[in-house]
Amino acid sequence: MEVVNLTQGTPGWHAHRAAHFNASDAPAMMGCSSYTSRSELIQRLATGIVPEVDAATQRRFDAGHQFEELARPIAEKIVGEELAPLVGTNGKYSASFDGLTLMGETAWEHKSLNDRLRDAMTPSATGADLPLEYQVQMEHQAMVAETVERTLFLASKWVLNQSTGEWMCEEQRSCWYTPNPDLRAKIVAGWAQLQQEVAAYQPEAEAPKPAPEAKLREALPALRLDAKGEITTSNLDEFKAGALARINSINTVLETDQQFAEADDDAKWLRGVADAMKQAGKRVRANMQSVDEALTVLEQLDKIATTKALDLEKRVKSEKDARKQTLVLQAQQDLDSHTASLNQRLGTNWLPRLAGGFAEVIKGLKSLDSIRDKVAVALTNAKVDANALADQLEVNRKHLVQDNGDWITLFPDFATVGAKASEDFQALAAMRIGQHQAAEAKKLEAERERIRAEEEAKAKREADARAAQEAAERDRQLEVERVRIRAEEQAKAQADAAEERKRIQEQAQSAKAEITQAAQTGALGEPVANDLARLATSNAAEAVAGIDAKQVINAAQTSAAAQADESVISIGKINTTLKAGGIDVLVNAGTLDSLGISYRKERNSVQMPESSFPRLCLALAMRLQKMANEYTHQTV
């Protein structure tokens, strides 16, 4: 706040007031002043014409200043500090303080005590219980001096002691007012709205009045109408002409409050004329049996006056209703446009269509000026409420834009819950965001668990496959090792068999040599020697065949698995091969079964693995050898 050194009533003081929005005018701006209407304030600010102060008003002002100074010590005693009067400004706002403390924390406002304040200022009353016009003035003052934390509102009544000539405080009441942010917002918006109306102000031209209107409601000339059997004296024609002239000169164009008020008076006057005609007719009828002409005139005037009165009354009512509707509709349209601009600022239609309640605030009001004032104040307050709602929605919307994302999708009902106080909305947002994050975390954990399970199953399948592959590889390596070992064993067996054949053959040769020598020396007879030689040879062959058979069987067993896909030999080819070797033996499937040699039948042909042919030969040889041995033993 900047302090302005001006003397009240000087040209500089008036110029200062004309350039600022003043605390003393704030109640009129808000439409709650007991002394000035809002339309009067707009007219004064727009034209600069200040109404002249009459003597009574000036005396009231002077008494107010005098009582203010008288009450200052009382106020300073309550506050506990000195209170200095001053004028201050804060931008375009200005205020005159009855008193302000040095640090500006406490202000003082004084008013003359009246019955209205007595009713409000009970012992437990606070500043919020005061009439609105006083709250508005002190809130405006606190808006100018932002350091003000409280205002002492003191109302006092003073009387003059006739014997001593001193003023005495007959009664005083006080309470504390603390700043109200909501009311301050309405005051700021109200001044902004008023500034627009002052800029758009157009004075209303007063409609010209008909010349006779000044005397319209003057009393008509006394009607002289005496009758006794006949009308004796009468100025009825003159009266009729005068009455009709005045009735027809009544104004029916209604635009200003003055014209509406005069129309109401004209209607009442016409009702009086009609009633007078009725009374005159009654007097004539009381004195005469038949005076048709006089009664006709009287009744005609009665009808004309009554019809005119009804027309005026209907016109007054319809015109006032139309003006009221126009003002209400214009205010609602203005509010709708303001709401649309706020939604445009917000970027979406979160603000619903707001009802200004304009029809309710003008109930019971008669004058158009008072209706305009009430509608304007209601419009301003509705815009303030809409602005506050839009600001709250904007603040809460910004809160949803956080470091971890924009959470507006969790608020399909934001148009409703977004209007909550910031603290309440933030608590709701925290709850919804927390619940959403918990649900998302649960879904994420379930997804992670599913992925882990799939990965574990995949790893198990891969491990099983690797294990199976490794096992197969181990089996293959073992089989290779077994084949190697069998090959080594087979090679050793073959070597051992060869060595054994050599030994047996050497023994057989040695035996044959001994038999031959014995035969040569005559120790054995030639037949016996021959038999012994054949037996030695046969035994040697049988032993060698046994060794070869074992070798073949072992080889067959060792390579059985490897010979699954070996080439085969048919029974016919076997028999042909044996016959070509000097063995005329017929081999068939039964022969193979008895010898334990595997075979297969394919397309009516018996086929044996070609590798089994040596085994077949050895098996046949062993059978023949056995038969030969048995036969030899039998014959010997």
pLDDT score for 232 = 67
Q: What is the pLDDT of residue 1?
A: 92
**What pLDDT shows up at residue 115?**
93
Residue with tokens 């007097």: 283
Q: Over 70: is that where the pLDDT of 82 sits?
A: yes
Q: Cα–Cα distances in Å, from 139 out to 17, 26, 29, 95?
A: 18, 9, 13, 10
pLDDT digit string (tens) for 474-485?
A: 888 988 888 888
Taking 60 as the threshold, does the pLDDT of residue 503 lie above it? Answer: yes
pTM of structure: 0.52
pLDDT reading at 6 higher than 90: no
**pLDDT digits 0-9 by tens, 599-620:** 888 878 889 888 888 878 877 8
**Residue 215: pLDDT band with limits 50, 70, 90:** very low
Cα separation, 149 vs 180, in Å, equals 10
Indicate the average pLDDT of the chain: 83
Whether 74 and 86 have beta carbons less than 8 Å apart is answered as: no
Distance CA 562, CA 447 (A): 53
Mean pLDDT of 167-189: 93
Highest mean pLDDT, choosing among 248-257, 358-367, 505-514: 358-367
Are the C-beta atoms of 171 and 156 separated by less than 8 Å? Answer: yes
Residues 240-295: pLDDT tens digits?
A: 888 788 778 888 777 777 888 888 888 888 888 888 888 877 776 666 545 667 77
Tell me the pLDDT band of 525, cut-offs 50, 70 and 90. low
Give tens-digit pLDDT for 22-49: 999 999 999 899 888 888 898 888 888 7
Residues 176 and 216 sit within 8 Å (Cβ to Cβ): no
Q: Cα–Cα distance between 194 and 270 in angstroms, integer?
A: 41
365 touches 353 (CB < 8 A):
no
Higher pLDDT, 78 or 549: 78
Q: What is the pLDDT of residue 581?
A: 83
Task: Quickly state the pLDDT bin for 563 (edges 50, 70, 90).
Answer: very low
For residue 150, what is the enclosing H or E element?
strand 150-160
- What is d(CA 115, CA 121) in angstroms, rounded to the nearest whole number? 10
Whole-number Å distance between alpha carbons of 183 and 384: 10
CA-CA distance, 585 to 564, in Å (whole number)?
28
Burial 200-226 (b: 16+ CB within 10 A, else e): eeeeeeeeeeeeeeeebeeeeeebebe
8 A C-beta contact, residue 351 and residue 389: yes
pLDDT in tens, 389-424: 999 999 999 999 998 889 999 999 999 899 999 999
Confidence of residue 319 (pLDDT cuts 50, 70, 90): confident
d(CA 543, CA 515): 20
The whole-angstrom separation of Cα 13 and Cα 99 is: 18
Using alpha carbons, list the distances in angstroms from residue 80 to 72, 109, 147, 332. Answer: 12, 15, 18, 49
Residue 211's pLDDT is 42
